Amino acid sequence: MEKLVVLDAYTLNPGDLSWKFFEDFCDITVYDRTPMDMVLERCAGADFIFTNKVIINAEVIQQLPKLKYIGVLATGYNVVDIEAANARGIIVTNIPAYSTNSVAQLVFAHIFAHFNKVEMHSKHVAKGGWVNSIDFSYFLSPQTELAGKTMGIVGYGKIGSKIAQIALAFDMKVLIANRSVKIGLPNGIEQVPLEKLFAQSDIVSINCPLTDENKGFVNRELISKMKSSALLVNTGRGPLVNEPDLAEALNNGTIAGASLDVLSTEPPAADNPLLKAKNCMITPHIAWATFEARRRLMYIAADNLKAFIKGKPVNVVG
Protein backbone atom coordinates (compact mmCIF):
# COMPACT_ATOMS: atom_id res chain seq x y z
CA MET A 1 0.00 0.00 0.00
CA GLU A 2 1.33 3.45 -0.90
CA LYS A 3 2.55 5.73 1.85
CA LEU A 4 0.94 9.04 2.92
CA VAL A 5 2.64 11.39 5.39
CA VAL A 6 0.67 14.22 7.02
CA LEU A 7 3.21 16.80 8.17
CA ASP A 8 1.17 19.24 10.26
CA ALA A 9 -2.17 17.75 11.19
CA TYR A 10 -2.92 19.49 14.48
CA THR A 11 -4.76 22.62 13.38
CA LEU A 12 -7.00 20.57 11.08
CA ASN A 13 -7.54 17.83 13.61
CA PRO A 14 -6.67 18.61 17.25
CA GLY A 15 -8.40 15.37 18.24
CA ASP A 16 -12.07 15.76 17.36
CA LEU A 17 -11.77 14.13 13.91
CA SER A 18 -10.31 10.83 12.75
CA TRP A 19 -7.80 9.96 10.05
CA LYS A 20 -8.75 6.29 10.27
CA PHE A 21 -10.75 6.12 7.03
CA PHE A 22 -7.55 6.95 5.09
CA GLU A 23 -6.28 3.51 6.10
CA ASP A 24 -8.71 2.00 3.57
CA PHE A 25 -6.62 3.23 0.65
CA CYS A 26 -3.13 4.15 1.92
CA ASP A 27 -0.58 3.63 4.67
CA ILE A 28 -0.91 6.88 6.66
CA THR A 29 1.49 8.42 9.17
CA VAL A 30 0.30 11.54 10.96
CA TYR A 31 2.43 14.19 12.66
CA ASP A 32 0.86 17.07 14.59
CA ARG A 33 3.72 19.38 13.63
CA THR A 34 6.93 19.03 11.65
CA PRO A 35 9.91 21.42 11.85
CA MET A 36 11.68 22.06 8.56
CA ASP A 37 14.77 20.16 9.62
CA MET A 38 12.71 16.97 9.99
CA VAL A 39 10.68 17.14 6.76
CA LEU A 40 13.05 14.97 4.72
CA GLU A 41 13.43 12.38 7.47
CA ARG A 42 9.69 12.04 7.97
CA CYS A 43 8.85 12.03 4.27
CA ALA A 44 11.49 9.48 3.27
CA GLY A 45 9.79 6.87 1.13
CA ALA A 46 6.51 8.79 0.94
CA ASP A 47 4.38 8.54 -2.18
CA PHE A 48 2.00 11.25 -0.98
CA ILE A 49 2.39 14.25 1.33
CA PHE A 50 -0.26 16.36 3.03
CA THR A 51 0.87 19.77 4.24
CA ASN A 52 -0.89 22.82 5.57
CA LYS A 53 1.83 25.32 6.46
CA VAL A 54 5.01 23.22 6.25
CA ILE A 55 6.97 24.46 3.24
CA ILE A 56 7.67 21.96 0.48
CA ASN A 57 10.39 23.72 -1.50
CA ALA A 58 12.51 22.64 -4.46
CA GLU A 59 15.21 21.19 -2.21
CA VAL A 60 12.71 18.96 -0.43
CA ILE A 61 11.09 17.88 -3.69
CA GLN A 62 14.43 16.98 -5.27
CA GLN A 63 15.35 14.69 -2.36
CA LEU A 64 12.13 12.67 -2.30
CA PRO A 65 12.39 10.41 -5.36
CA LYS A 66 9.20 8.42 -4.64
CA LEU A 67 7.03 11.50 -4.14
CA LYS A 68 4.28 11.87 -6.73
CA TYR A 69 1.51 13.82 -4.99
CA ILE A 70 1.32 16.82 -2.63
CA GLY A 71 -2.04 17.66 -1.07
CA VAL A 72 -2.28 21.11 0.46
CA LEU A 73 -4.75 21.09 3.36
CA ALA A 74 -5.89 24.62 2.60
CA THR A 75 -7.06 26.78 -0.28
CA GLY A 76 -3.83 28.74 -0.61
CA TYR A 77 -0.91 26.71 -1.95
CA ASN A 78 2.03 29.11 -1.78
CA VAL A 79 3.78 26.72 0.65
CA VAL A 80 4.64 24.45 -2.29
CA ASP A 81 7.18 25.23 -5.01
CA ILE A 82 4.80 24.54 -7.88
CA GLU A 83 7.47 24.97 -10.56
CA ALA A 84 9.71 22.37 -8.92
CA ALA A 85 6.76 20.01 -8.49
CA ASN A 86 5.75 20.40 -12.14
CA ALA A 87 9.30 19.72 -13.25
CA ARG A 88 9.14 16.39 -11.43
CA GLY A 89 5.63 15.60 -12.66
CA ILE A 90 4.28 15.79 -9.11
CA ILE A 91 0.58 16.65 -8.85
CA VAL A 92 -0.34 19.36 -6.33
CA THR A 93 -3.94 19.82 -5.16
CA ASN A 94 -5.68 22.19 -2.80
CA ILE A 95 -9.01 22.38 -0.95
CA PRO A 96 -11.26 25.03 -2.51
CA ALA A 97 -14.48 26.48 -1.06
CA TYR A 98 -14.67 24.37 2.09
CA SER A 99 -15.09 27.21 4.63
CA THR A 100 -17.33 29.75 2.91
CA ASN A 101 -20.11 29.70 5.49
CA SER A 102 -17.69 29.58 8.41
CA VAL A 103 -15.67 32.59 7.25
CA ALA A 104 -18.80 34.63 6.55
CA GLN A 105 -20.06 33.72 10.02
CA LEU A 106 -16.91 35.02 11.70
CA VAL A 107 -17.07 38.24 9.69
CA PHE A 108 -20.44 38.94 11.28
CA ALA A 109 -19.29 37.73 14.69
CA HIS A 110 -16.67 40.49 14.54
CA ILE A 111 -19.23 43.00 13.29
CA PHE A 112 -21.63 42.20 16.12
CA ALA A 113 -18.81 42.34 18.66
CA HIS A 114 -17.93 45.83 17.44
CA PHE A 115 -21.42 47.28 17.22
CA ASN A 116 -23.15 45.55 20.17
CA LYS A 117 -20.32 44.76 22.62
CA VAL A 118 -22.29 41.76 23.92
CA GLU A 119 -19.38 40.31 25.91
CA MET A 120 -18.63 43.64 27.60
CA HIS A 121 -22.21 44.00 28.73
CA SER A 122 -22.47 40.39 29.88
CA LYS A 123 -19.32 40.70 32.00
CA HIS A 124 -20.61 43.95 33.49
CA VAL A 125 -23.88 42.26 34.47
CA ALA A 126 -21.94 39.34 35.99
CA LYS A 127 -20.04 41.83 38.16
CA GLY A 128 -23.29 43.25 39.54
CA GLY A 129 -23.78 46.11 37.14
CA TRP A 130 -27.45 45.39 36.47
CA VAL A 131 -28.25 44.39 40.04
CA ASN A 132 -26.97 47.78 41.19
CA SER A 133 -28.51 49.79 38.37
CA ILE A 134 -31.29 52.26 39.18
CA ASP A 135 -32.67 51.79 35.65
CA PHE A 136 -34.26 48.75 34.01
CA SER A 137 -31.84 49.13 31.07
CA TYR A 138 -28.43 50.63 30.52
CA PHE A 139 -25.70 50.46 27.92
CA LEU A 140 -21.95 50.87 28.15
CA SER A 141 -21.44 51.58 24.45
CA PRO A 142 -23.59 52.87 21.61
CA GLN A 143 -25.91 50.19 20.22
CA THR A 144 -25.96 50.41 16.43
CA GLU A 145 -28.44 48.89 14.00
CA LEU A 146 -27.00 47.40 10.82
CA ALA A 147 -30.09 48.07 8.72
CA GLY A 148 -29.46 50.97 6.37
CA LYS A 149 -25.70 50.83 6.80
CA THR A 150 -23.37 50.17 3.86
CA MET A 151 -21.28 47.03 3.70
CA GLY A 152 -18.27 47.23 1.37
CA ILE A 153 -16.83 43.91 0.22
CA VAL A 154 -13.46 43.72 -1.49
CA GLY A 155 -13.38 40.48 -3.47
CA TYR A 156 -16.67 39.06 -4.66
CA GLY A 157 -15.90 35.35 -4.80
CA LYS A 158 -17.75 32.64 -2.90
CA ILE A 159 -17.02 34.15 0.52
CA GLY A 160 -17.66 37.72 -0.59
CA SER A 161 -20.99 36.78 -2.15
CA LYS A 162 -22.04 34.90 1.01
CA ILE A 163 -21.20 37.96 3.14
CA ALA A 164 -23.23 40.10 0.73
CA GLN A 165 -26.18 37.72 1.04
CA ILE A 166 -26.11 37.99 4.84
CA ALA A 167 -25.74 41.78 4.70
CA LEU A 168 -28.80 42.02 2.45
CA ALA A 169 -30.74 39.96 4.98
CA PHE A 170 -29.94 42.69 7.52
CA ASP A 171 -31.29 45.30 5.08
CA MET A 172 -27.87 46.71 4.44
CA LYS A 173 -26.71 48.32 1.21
CA VAL A 174 -23.84 46.38 -0.37
CA LEU A 175 -20.97 47.74 -2.42
CA ILE A 176 -18.41 45.42 -3.99
CA ALA A 177 -15.00 45.94 -5.55
CA ASN A 178 -13.68 43.11 -7.70
CA ARG A 179 -10.94 42.57 -10.28
CA SER A 180 -13.43 41.48 -12.92
CA VAL A 181 -16.81 42.99 -13.74
CA LYS A 182 -19.68 41.06 -12.19
CA ILE A 183 -22.78 40.72 -14.35
CA GLY A 184 -26.30 40.21 -13.01
CA LEU A 185 -25.69 41.26 -9.43
CA PRO A 186 -28.66 40.83 -7.06
CA ASN A 187 -30.74 43.88 -6.19
CA GLY A 188 -29.07 45.91 -3.47
CA ILE A 189 -25.52 45.15 -4.61
CA GLU A 190 -23.49 47.64 -6.64
CA GLN A 191 -19.98 47.23 -8.05
CA VAL A 192 -17.90 50.38 -7.57
CA PRO A 193 -14.24 51.46 -7.74
CA LEU A 194 -12.16 50.55 -4.70
CA GLU A 195 -11.72 54.14 -3.52
CA LYS A 196 -15.47 54.78 -3.63
CA LEU A 197 -16.13 51.61 -1.65
CA PHE A 198 -13.75 52.67 1.10
CA ALA A 199 -15.16 56.17 1.19
CA GLN A 200 -18.85 55.21 1.37
CA SER A 201 -18.88 52.04 3.46
CA ASP A 202 -19.67 51.81 7.16
CA ILE A 203 -18.01 48.38 7.21
CA VAL A 204 -15.28 47.24 4.81
CA SER A 205 -14.70 43.49 4.60
CA ILE A 206 -11.51 42.26 2.89
CA ASN A 207 -12.08 38.95 1.13
CA CYS A 208 -9.83 39.01 -1.93
CA PRO A 209 -6.91 36.65 -2.60
CA LEU A 210 -3.36 37.85 -1.96
CA THR A 211 -1.29 38.62 -5.06
CA ASP A 212 2.00 40.38 -5.71
CA GLU A 213 0.03 43.35 -7.00
CA ASN A 214 -2.29 43.88 -4.02
CA LYS A 215 0.08 43.24 -1.14
CA GLY A 216 -0.38 46.05 1.42
CA PHE A 217 -3.04 47.79 -0.67
CA VAL A 218 -4.98 48.70 2.47
CA ASN A 219 -2.59 51.53 3.32
CA ARG A 220 -2.61 54.98 4.85
CA GLU A 221 -3.96 56.61 1.70
CA LEU A 222 -6.87 54.21 1.29
CA ILE A 223 -7.71 54.12 5.00
CA SER A 224 -7.80 57.94 5.06
CA LYS A 225 -10.77 57.83 2.67
CA MET A 226 -12.87 55.86 5.17
CA LYS A 227 -15.51 57.31 7.45
CA SER A 228 -14.27 58.03 10.97
CA SER A 229 -17.09 55.75 12.20
CA ALA A 230 -16.13 52.87 9.89
CA LEU A 231 -14.99 49.36 10.79
CA LEU A 232 -12.38 47.43 8.78
CA VAL A 233 -12.70 43.62 8.82
CA ASN A 234 -10.00 41.36 7.37
CA THR A 235 -10.54 37.61 7.12
CA GLY A 236 -8.64 37.36 3.81
CA ARG A 237 -4.87 37.43 4.16
CA GLY A 238 -2.80 39.49 6.60
CA PRO A 239 -0.35 40.94 4.05
CA LEU A 240 -3.23 42.66 2.24
CA VAL A 241 -3.07 45.27 5.00
CA ASN A 242 -0.19 47.63 5.73
CA GLU A 243 -0.16 46.97 9.47
CA PRO A 244 1.78 50.05 10.65
CA ASP A 245 -0.56 52.27 8.60
CA LEU A 246 -3.64 50.61 10.08
CA ALA A 247 -2.29 50.83 13.64
CA GLU A 248 -1.59 54.53 13.11
CA ALA A 249 -5.11 55.09 11.81
CA LEU A 250 -6.65 53.31 14.79
CA ASN A 251 -4.53 55.14 17.34
CA ASN A 252 -5.30 58.49 15.69
CA GLY A 253 -9.03 57.81 15.47
CA THR A 254 -9.02 57.95 11.67
CA ILE A 255 -11.41 54.98 11.74
CA ALA A 256 -13.48 53.57 14.58
CA GLY A 257 -12.13 50.04 14.66
CA ALA A 258 -10.55 47.04 12.99
CA SER A 259 -11.46 43.38 13.35
CA LEU A 260 -8.80 41.01 12.09
CA ASP A 261 -8.55 37.24 11.86
CA VAL A 262 -5.30 37.28 9.90
CA LEU A 263 -1.97 39.05 10.28
CA SER A 264 1.07 39.42 8.03
CA THR A 265 3.04 36.88 10.07
CA GLU A 266 1.34 34.06 11.95
CA PRO A 267 1.95 33.67 14.82
CA PRO A 268 2.63 37.42 15.00
CA ALA A 269 5.79 38.98 16.34
CA ALA A 270 5.43 40.44 19.83
CA ASP A 271 6.07 43.93 18.43
CA ASN A 272 3.32 43.84 15.81
CA PRO A 273 1.79 47.32 16.21
CA LEU A 274 -1.77 46.02 15.84
CA LEU A 275 -1.54 43.95 19.03
CA LYS A 276 -1.71 47.13 21.11
CA ALA A 277 -3.61 49.41 18.73
CA LYS A 278 -6.79 51.09 19.93
CA ASN A 279 -10.13 49.49 19.07
CA CYS A 280 -8.47 46.54 17.35
CA MET A 281 -10.00 43.10 17.83
CA ILE A 282 -7.83 40.17 16.71
CA THR A 283 -8.69 36.48 16.55
CA PRO A 284 -6.01 33.82 15.81
CA HIS A 285 -6.95 32.80 12.24
CA ILE A 286 -10.05 30.84 13.27
CA ALA A 287 -12.52 31.76 10.52
CA TRP A 288 -11.85 28.49 8.68
CA ALA A 289 -11.76 26.34 11.80
CA THR A 290 -15.32 25.35 12.66
CA PHE A 291 -15.74 21.63 13.22
CA GLU A 292 -17.94 21.39 10.16
CA ALA A 293 -15.47 23.17 7.89
CA ARG A 294 -12.51 21.10 9.13
CA ARG A 295 -14.44 17.88 8.64
CA ARG A 296 -15.38 19.02 5.14
CA LEU A 297 -11.73 19.84 4.44
CA MET A 298 -10.62 16.38 5.53
CA TYR A 299 -13.21 14.67 3.34
CA ILE A 300 -12.23 16.76 0.32
CA ALA A 301 -8.55 15.97 0.96
CA ALA A 302 -9.42 12.27 0.96
CA ASP A 303 -11.46 12.61 -2.24
CA ASN A 304 -8.60 14.51 -3.90
CA LEU A 305 -6.15 11.72 -3.08
CA LYS A 306 -8.56 8.97 -4.13
CA ALA A 307 -9.11 10.72 -7.46
CA PHE A 308 -5.35 10.93 -8.00
CA ILE A 309 -4.87 7.25 -7.19
CA LYS A 310 -7.56 6.43 -9.76
CA GLY A 311 -5.71 8.50 -12.37
CA LYS A 312 -8.31 11.26 -12.50
CA PRO A 313 -6.90 14.06 -10.30
CA VAL A 314 -9.16 16.92 -9.25
CA ASN A 315 -8.52 20.35 -7.69
CA VAL A 316 -5.08 20.44 -9.30
CA VAL A 317 -3.18 23.71 -8.95
CA GLY A 318 -0.24 25.16 -10.84
Decide: 233 and 259 in contact? Cβ < 8 Å: yes
pLDDT at 148: 98
Domain ranges of the chain: 3-96+291-309, 100-282
pLDDT band at 228 (very low <50, low <70, confident <90, very high): very high
Residue 87 pLDDT greater than 90, yes or no = yes
Q: Which of 23, 83, 145, 266 is catalytic?
A: 266
pLDDT tens digits for 230-245? Answer: 999 999 999 999 999 9
- Residue-wise pLDDT tens digits, 52-76: 999 999 999 999 999 999 999 999 8
Q: What per-residue confidence (pLDDT) applies to 7?
A: 98
Intrachain domains 3-96+291-309 and 100-282 with the same fold: yes
What proportion of the chain, given as a percentage, has pLDDT over 70?
100
The pLDDT assigned to 253 comes to: 98
Active site residue 220: no
Spell out the alpha helix ranges (H) of the chain. 39-43, 58-62, 82-88, 100-116, 118-126, 158-169, 194-200, 220-223, 243-252, 291-309
CATH class entry, domain 100-282: alpha beta
Report the run of H or E that residue 259 belongs to, with start and end: strand 257-260
What span, in angstroms and rounded, lies between the C-alpha atoms of 233 and 235? 7
Name the catalytic one among 237, 243, 294, 296. 237
Catalytic residue list contains 124: no
3-class secondary-structure state, position 241 = strand
Is 59 designated active site? Answer: no
Per-residue confidence band for 50, with pLDDT thresholds at 50, 70 and 90:
very high
pLDDT digits (tens, 9 = 90+) for 194-214: 999 999 999 999 999 999 999
Which CATH architecture best describes the domain 3-96+291-309?
Answer: 3-Layer(aba) Sandwich (3.40)
pTM of the full structure: 0.94
* pLDDT level of residue 23 (50, 70, 90 thresholds): very high
Per-residue pLDDT tens over the stretch 72-82: 999 989 999 99
Question: What pLDDT is recorded for position 243?
Answer: 98
Query: Which DSSP symbol is given to 185?
Result: P
Q: Do 283 and 106 contact (CB within 8 A), yes or no? A: yes
Write down the pLDDT at residue 30. Answer: 98
Q: What is the pLDDT of residue 149?
A: 98
CA dist 92 to 76, 138, 210, 258, 301, Å?
12, 56, 19, 35, 11
pLDDT for residue 318: 83
Residue 218 has pLDDT above 90, yes or no: yes
pLDDT tens readout for residues 129-155: 999 999 999 999 999 999 999 999 999
Strand partners, 257: 231
